[in-house]
Amino acid sequence: MNEIIAAFSKKTTGYPEAERERIVMASIWAHELHDTQLRASGEPYIVHPIGVAEILIELKLDADSIIAALLHDALEDTTATRSAIAERFGEDVALMVDGVTKIAGLNGENKSQQEAESIRKMLFAMVKDVRVILIKLADKLYNMRTLAFLPGERQKSNAQECLDIYAPLADRLGISWIKDELEDLALKHLNRDVYDQIKRIVALKKGERADFLSKVQEGIHREADAAGIRIEVSARAKHFYSIYQKMRKRNKGPDDLFDLLGLRILCDAEDDCYTLLGTVHRLWKPIDGRFKDYIAMPKANGYRSLHTTVMAYDGKLIEIQIRTREMHRIAEYGVASHWLYKKGSTNEIVRVHDLSIVNRLKAWNGLEADGDRPVSSGAFLEDIKRELLKDSIYVFTPKGNVIELPSGSTPIDFAYHIHSAIGDHCVGAKADGSIVPLTSELKNTQVVEILTAQSARPHLNWLRAARTAKARTKIRQWLQLNDDSLIIEREIIAKKKHPPVPVPPAPAHGAEPIQTVIRGQTLPGATLHVRVEDEKNMMIRFAHCCSPVTGDPIIGYVSRGRGIIVHRRNCRNVAGIPDFEQRKIEVEWETASSRLVKRFRVEARRASDLFSEIEGAVRKHQGHLIEGRLEETASNRLTGFFTMELEEKDDLKKVLKNLRGIPSVIAIQTIP
């Protein structure tokens, strides 16, 4: 037996003999299939599937999951077929392997569209069997651990993908240690200077605070022993990416953060958690606003714990987490605890059908099956990032039911979440008893009541305010069926115009052409289809010469044979287009508002906290960074390109002044 296979075999001893034999058989077959292939590191390819399988063994998943992990690249990279996998190891294994296999060549689509479609396929496969995503997370984690062997640009793109998709997925599934490691590894490759600085300071503070932490632990043990409560207390350093997020949020360097270390208390019973909380608050003064009860109100991923921050000895702050041992296992394993406890040793597991992300994906899958959702893979992925993988808020119905919505949601989103009929007829809303606009942003823990009237109807402005895919889909659907002045398909809304503009190809049956195009997202270069009456061959494209983004002043041009081309109004190429005045068409963004999207270039001296300083300067005037990157130049300086969104156009000068005031910034220039 190969040495690599033999070493792996020793790690499967926790499985029954029959299952262990199947796992070893799968590892031998995987080695044969990948026999001549090498990793970027120069190692035999088999080290990768075995590494992925070992991560799942650490999660204590079942034998079928381990076998699927060993074969997860077989369909994509070898001659193995799905039927061969099913014949050898069963249909469940074949389904999982197929679920994690990337989609190859989608009719010549570009790489980003292909990746987006592969992610969509994987997420919907997860609805059928959540083990698909656990295999993919293990695959990503192993690849992130070995990322140094890839070229620099691929390192950064893979690290960013992990931050955008896979770390949030691990969080939604409750597997905290995978989420933490993915985030830390991503930070290491995206901003190595900050990563090294945080690592150094955490190690330093751990040494400085050893006596302090020991003294706090002794105090807790003494009081718990007196109360007859059996506990374990351990010190923990916060993971580096969470420290980095705090640096950006508070606009501080790691030297200025005092809560880099904390304590975790484990006990046996839920009642003991609250007793210990009272004990900790008697020993030291709690800090107002820093207590969270995730036992009474668990997170959507099943996480339960008490969090409090107290001012302990010598006025030093320390965060303390209190949970039972069972809660701690759930916090570490999340949805994987379904297999960890499959023999029924505890009732305290995270069940797949209880997970918010799985149920919401099921609902989205249902909408797609009914043809109610856009099928654009890019749009789907953006919805996933915005709605399922970003922060959530929890609001209450008047009857006390908890509703989870993406952060930034409005009463319109709440209404459509309850029922589409409620959404279609809402006229107003109350939050905590006070009347609020339908377009206002809801806040965590508010009690929301929707006011309805039979005469109320959805209108176009709701589309600008709605944040959830369900609300936007239902509003579009209603407008399409009931407003004859609008033409709506997928992400495009168009208003009919009189007199008609000649639009090639000529619309069938005397259909009226398009006058106004409103678009929800920026997908430069993407092709979007618009229906005009019975004609579905119209296309809208975004000009490559000026690549307009949301917020730019834009103008449309009806091109012969190519549909409508959207340019920036100040695009130099527009003047050279024949018959432009006769063929131009007015267009606007769906999210049209007073906000301004602006790109800028920064040249600066090396500084580890430059990114957070730039973000802080933009935030001072209620703006936010949409994207940004910093690169080191040959002269040991940093060059950065950023895109920011500002609430008002008049804020631009103020923000630029703040940016120029950053000590390390040498020059700053806006990009047209």
Q: Which residues are catalytic?
A: 76-77
Question: Alpha carbon of 40 to those of 48, 151, 316, 463: distances in Å?
Answer: 11, 10, 47, 47
What sign does the CA torsion over 374, 522, 182, 294 have? negative
Q: Per DSSP, what are the bridge partners of residue 564? A: 540, 558
Q: What is the 3-state secondary structure (H, E, C) of 126-168?
A: HHHCCHHHHHHHHHHHHHHHCHHHCCHHHHHHHHHHHHHHHHH
**What's the rounded Cα separation, in Å, for the pair 185 and 177?**
12
Quote the CA–CA distance of 458 and 474 in Å, as a whole number.
9
Q: Which residues contact 383 (CB under 8 A, 6 or more apart)?
A: 364, 469
Rounded (5°) CA angle 553-557-561: 145
**Residues 6 or more apart whose Cβ sits within 8 Å of residue 413:** 405, 406, 442, 466, 467, 468, 470, 471
Of 69, 39, 23, 34, the residue nearest 143 (C-alpha): 39
Q: Which of 359, 378, 357, 361 is nearest to 369 (CA)?
A: 361
**Class of residue 367 by CB neighbours under 10 A (exposed 0-12, middle 13-18, buried 19+):** middle
CA 434, chain centre distance (Å): 32
Q: Percent helix, strand and coil across the chain, each rounded to 5?
A: 45, 20, 35
β 317-324/665-671 pair status: unpaired
Q: What angle do CA 607, 613, 618 make, to 5 degrees?
A: 145
For 82, 156, 198, 239, 613, the CA distances from 188, given in Å and listed in that order, are: 37, 10, 10, 12, 19
User: CA dihedral in degrees (206, 207, 209, 210; nearest 10)?
Assistant: 100
Strands (E), 520-591: 528-532, 535-542, 554-559, 563-568, 584-585
* 602 sits in which H/E element: strand 596-605
